[in-house]
Structure 1
Amino acid sequence: MTACAHAAPHLPALLSAGETRLSAEQIYPRLFDAILEQRLPPGSALPEQALGDAFGVSRTVIRRVLGRLSDQQVVVQRPSHTAHLAAPDPQQARQVLSARRLAETTLITLATQRARPTQIRQLRQLVERERQHHERGERCTAIRLGGEFHLKLAQMAANAPLARFLNGLVPMTSLIIARYESPCCEHCAWEEHAAIIDAVERGDSSAALALMHEHLDRLEAKLDLGVDQSA
C-alpha cells in the first residue's frame, strides 16, 4: 500500500498561520485532502469541537462539512456518537468499484448526448488543475480533483438519482485509492480524463464509453486489494 502522506500531525496544522475564518466550502477540500493524505488515519474520530478549534470556526460550520462527507460515505455518523472516518476493507472496496462502474457507464453515455460547451470548458479547467497538482507531486489533491471530474460528468448527464448515487461512490473511491494504491503505480488519471473530454465534446458516445471502461480498468488495476490494511 502507498499512503498519500506522511506522519500525522495534530489537528491545529489543518489551519495555516495567519489565516482568517474559513467557510464550510473552504474547509471541505482541506479536510478531505488531510483524510486522503492519511494525516487523519482511517477510523479516526472526528470530534466537532476539536475540528472547530483546528479551523477556527464553530461546531455548526464543522457539522455542515461532516454532513457532506457523511453523504459521500467518507465519514460515518451515528446519533449520539462522535463521527469517525470510514475504513473500507478490500471487500467493501471491490463492492464500491463494481457499483461505480455500473453507474458511470450509464452516465457517460447520457453526458455525451447532453454536454454543453460551457460544461466542456469547466471540465477542461478541472483536469488542468488535476494535472498541475499531479506534476507538483500533490497526489492526494490530484486524486480528489479526479473524483470531482467524474461528479461533474454526472451532473452533465442530467439524471439526478444517478448523480446522487455516484456522489456516494466517487469520494469513497478516492479514499480507497489513497489507502490501497500500489507503490509502483505510475498511472496519470488526468490524461485519461482529457481523452474522455475529447470524446464527449465530439459527441462520440461509443468512444467515451470505451475510454471510461479503460479508465476504470486501470483504476482498479493499480489497487492492492489482496490484504486488509486494518488487519
Structure 2
Amino acid sequence: MDRATSSRRAAASPADATESTDAGSDHAIYQAIYDGVMHHRLLPGTKLPEPELCELFGVGRAVVRRVLERLAHEGIVTIRPNKGASISAPTPEETREIFEARRAIERVLVELAVERATSRDLKMLRQQLAREHDAMHRFDQPAWARLASDFHLQVGALAGNPILLRYLKELISRCSLIVGLYEAPGNAPCEHDEHTAIVQCLADKDATGAIALMSAHLSEIERRIDLNGPQGEKTLAQMLGLA
C-alpha cells in the first residue's frame, strides 16, 4: 500500500466511524419506539420530546429527527409544526380504514401461504403456537402481545411476497397502536384458538377456510376495540423499555 493510499484511508476512517455510529443510533432509537408500540407500552398520543430522546440515547437532534421522520412516513408517529412528535392516535374512521386494509392484505397473504407453505413452515408455526400458549398461561401480557403480532407476520412471510409483507408490517404496527390504547387490560390481542384453527387450514391446504377464519379473526379484534378506553401514565423511559 503506498503512502497516499494509506493517508486517504486514514483520513476517511473517522467519517466512516461516525456514519457507522449514527446508523447504529438510528436503529436503536427506531427499534425502541417500534417495540414500544408493538408491546403496547407506547400509547397513541404519547409525546416524544426531542431533548429527552437525545438524552436517553446520547445522540444529537439530527439523529433523533431522522428517526422520527422515518416513523412518521410509516404512520407510527405524527409530527406537528411547533408541537413536536407524538405516537399517532388513529381516529375511529382511521381505525375502520386500517382494519379494512389489513383484512384485504391478509386475505391475499393467507391464500398464498396455503399454496406455498411447506411441512417445515408448518412446524415453525406450531412452535410459535406453543410459545403463545405458554405466554398465555404465564399471564405474560407483553410476550403475549408480541407473539400475537409475530404470528401474523410469520403467516404473511410464507406468502413469499416481500412487498405485501412490508405493507402488513406497517398495518400491524398501526393496529398495535389502536389495541394498545383501546383494548381492555388483560385481554389477548389475538385469540390463541383462532390462530390454531388457521394453522390447521394451512396444513389441510384449505384456502377458503383459512381466508374465512382470518377475516373473522381480524373482525373480532376490531369489534373488541373500546374507543373510550383509558390511557396509562408512565415516563418516556419506561415506555421505551429503558427504565
| Shorter-chain TM-score above 0.5 | yes
Instruction: Using the TM superposition, name which of 67-76 and 22-31 deviates more.
Output: 22-31
From the superposition, tell whether residues 57 and 207 of structure 1 become closer, same or farther in structure 2 (CA, over 3 Å).
Answer: farther
From the superposition, tell whether residues 121 and 143 of structure 1 become closer, same or farther in structure 2 (CA, over 3 Å).
Answer: same
| Deviation readout 1:186-221 (Å, 9 max, x if unpaired) | 775222112211211222212211211221222122
Contact 1:144 1:171 in 2 (8 A): no
RMSD between aligned alpha carbons? Answer: 3.6
Deviation (angstroms), 1:28:
6.1
Q: Which residue, out of 69, 74, 77, partners 1:75? A: 77
3-state SS of 1:157 partner:
coil
CA distance in 1, matches of 2:139, 2:216: 24
From the superposition, tell whether residues 66 and 196 of structure 1 become closer, same or farther in structure 2 (CA, over 3 Å).
Answer: farther
What is aligned with 1:139?
A: 141
Contact 1:43 1:84 in 2 (8 A): yes
User: Which structure shows the bigger proportion of residues in helix conformation?
Assistant: 2
CA distance in 1, matches of 2:129, 2:191: 9
Contact 1:130 1:146 in 2 (8 A): yes
What is aligned with 1:95?
A: 97
TM-score (norm 2): 0.67
Q: Which residue, out of 97, 103, 111, partners 1:109? A: 111
CA distance in 2, matches of 1:190, 1:55: 36
From the superposition, tell whether residues 184 and 138 of structure 1 become closer, same or farther in structure 2 (CA, over 3 Å).
Answer: closer
Unaligned runs of 5+ residues in structure 2 are 1-23, 232-243
Letter in 1 for 2:48: L
Contact 2:68 2:77 in 1 (8 A): yes
| Deviation readout 1:11-59 (Å, 9 max, x if unpaired) | xxxxxxxxxxx98777766544544666544222324553354356787
From the superposition, tell whether residues 164 and 188 of structure 1 become closer, same or farther in structure 2 (CA, over 3 Å).
Answer: closer
Q: How do 1:39-58 residues align onto structure 2 when only pairs under 5 Å count?
A: 39-47=41-49, 50-51=52-53, 53-54=55-56
Q: Which residue, out of 179, 182, 185, partners 1:180? A: 182
Q: How many percent identity over aligned positions?
A: 38
The count of residues paired between Structure 1 and Structure 2 equals 208
Unaligned runs of 5+ residues in structure 1 are 1-21
From the superposition, tell whether residues 129 and 51 of structure 1 become closer, same or farther in structure 2 (CA, over 3 Å).
Answer: farther
CA distance in 1, matches of 2:148, 2:196: 11
What is aligned with 2:191?
A: 189
Letter in 2 for 1:94: R
| Deviation readout 1:105-124 (Å, 9 max, x if unpaired) | 11111111011233323323
Between Structure 1 and Structure 2, whose CA radius of gyration is higher? 2
Letter in 2 for 1:129: R
Contact 2:29 2:57 in 1 (8 A): yes
Letter in 1 for 2:105: A
